Structure 1
Amino acid sequence: MGNHIFLKVLGVSVIALAVALWLPGGQPPEEYKNLPWQVEVSSDGYSTVFGITLGKSTLGEVEQLLQEQPHINLFATDDGDRVVEAYFNTVNISGFKAKMVATLGFNEEQLQKLYDQGERISTLAMGKRKVTLSGADLAKARNTMVVALTYLPRTNLDESTVTKRFGEPAEKIMEADKKTEHWLYPDIGLDVVMSAEEREVLQYVAPNDFERLRKPLEKMNPATTGQPSP
């Protein structure tokens, strides 16, 4: 899910600085902007992170901001779930190299049309399919707003680092496998996926759309849903 920090051509000193931004004792210089913990929430319930306003910024605007062209596909499951995602393989924001996935805000009717008009369908594992969009639909995707971001840092995060940067979560939900725990921050629209075996994942939505993150967790482990953070 991630490896290390970029800018190695600048030497160990710059790498150490980048690492310090994540470490509990490190403080980012004022000129560093769009860091993962710098989430701005507006009075109308939208949030901005990495310079992207979730629910308002289009994929085309995100592409310009990140200076990378993503791989855009529709994913479908046997259960009828469908989503269009734009995958950015390498983004570099304020010295941090990471992967990022943008979820696009198509409604169910639009998703059905995209599925029907797809150029190619590939079968993936566990009843999942990947649909290659047509050229016209790719253009539509770039004019569609981004409603969620998944950020996969190359720097491994421990619990103390997450607490230092985001504070104590409002709620923790453990998945059924007992290896993955979700730290929920509804006030800023964040789910930090903590894992004992994998690198951590940060999932962002607008706070007024937080159920987009929380609802799937009810299916994973209903027994823990609703339990506040200790």
Structure 2
Amino acid sequence: MGDHIFLKVLGVTIIALAAALWLPGGQPPEEYKNLPWQIEVTPDGLSQVFGVTLGKSTLSDVENQFQEPAEISLFATDAGERVVEAYFNTVTLNGFKAKIVVTLGFSGEELQGMYDRGERISSLAQGKRKVTLSGNDLAQAKQTPVVALTYLPRIDLAESTVIKRFGEPAEKRMEADGKVEHWLYPDKGLDVVMYAEAR
């Protein structure tokens, strides 16, 4: 996973590259399920995608859904930010391979305690640290709801394809470096991140 920390993602995130087309040669049959653009909002306002309901499905549920164990780590910054993420290196859904990162719904107090109990701390770039959780905290993580999901496809996406699948975004926000743009779909809890130069 490298030193990526997704601290600002509040809903489903799809990391995309504005280049080639997704699903060249036509659309998939309608009966296909668990595709990235098949996002539903439950009556209580929760986003649901890939068979995962954010804020409700636990990490154990997600591992069962993806049929792959997750690599769980706590990430911290010098600014005091803490987040527990579970990383799936290869998830195949309907023939599409992707890496997936999910964020777990711990409180700030819980995260600090897990940080203090961490078994090993590795320094990453730019004042970030990766913490190996204790056995008890790993067990707790398995039973904790997932609050955000980041989907990193192994194919490139064109802007036109994103619009075709998700529609026009409600808002576009460019990051300060001018290389990363966020397409926001608040009705779906979705942030599509478009990279101009890199995956």
Both proteins in one fold, TM over 0.5: yes
Aligned residue pair count: 181
| Structure 1 residues 82-97: aligned runs within 5 Å | 82-97=82-97
Larger strand fraction of residues: 2
Deviation at 1:42, TM superposition (A): 1.4
Deviation at 1:30, TM superposition (A): 2.5
CA deviations on 1:41-86 (whole Å, 9 max, x unpaired) are 1121101100000000000000011011111000000000000000
* Larger Rg, first or second structure (1 or 2): 1
Q: Structure 1 runs of 4+ off > 6 angstroms? A: none
Aligned to 1:149: 149
Q: Residue 163 of structure 1 aligns to a residue in which SS?
A: helix
Amino acid at match of 1:123: S
Q: In structure 2, what is the Cα distance between the partners aligned to 1:100 and 1:156?
A: 16
Q: Is the 8 A contact 2:22 2:161 kept in 1?
A: no
**Higher RCO (Cα < 8 Å, 6 or more apart):** 2
Aligned to 2:47: 47
| Structure 1 residues 1-230: aligned runs within 5 Å | 22-23=23-24, 26-199=26-199
Deviation at 1:107, TM superposition (A): 0.3
Q: Is the 8 A contact 2:39 2:49 kept in 1?
A: yes
CA deviations on 1:63-121 (whole Å, 9 max, x unpaired) are 01101111100000000000000000000011100000010000011001100111001
Coordinate RMSD, CA, aligned: 1.6
Q: In structure 2, what is the Cα distance between the partners aligned to 1:96 and 1:148?
A: 20
The runs of 5 or more residues in structure 2 that have no matched partner are 2-19
Q: Is the 8 A contact 1:20 1:27 kept in 2?
A: no
Aligned to 2:11: none
Q: In structure 1, what is the Cα distance between the partners aligned to 2:63 and 2:192?
A: 24
Q: Residue 182 of structure 1 aligns to a residue in which SS?
A: strand
Q: In structure 2, what is the Cα distance between the partners aligned to 1:20 and 1:53?
A: 28
Larger helix fraction of residues: 1
Q: In structure 1, what is the Cα distance between the partners aligned to 2:82 and 2:39?
A: 28
The runs of 5 or more residues in structure 1 that have no matched partner are 2-18, 200-230
Q: Is the 8 A contact 1:58 1:145 kept in 2?
A: yes
Aligned to 1:206: none
**Identical columns (%):** 72
Q: Is the 8 A contact 1:21 1:27 kept in 2?
A: no
Q: Is the 8 A contact 1:98 1:151 kept in 2?
A: yes
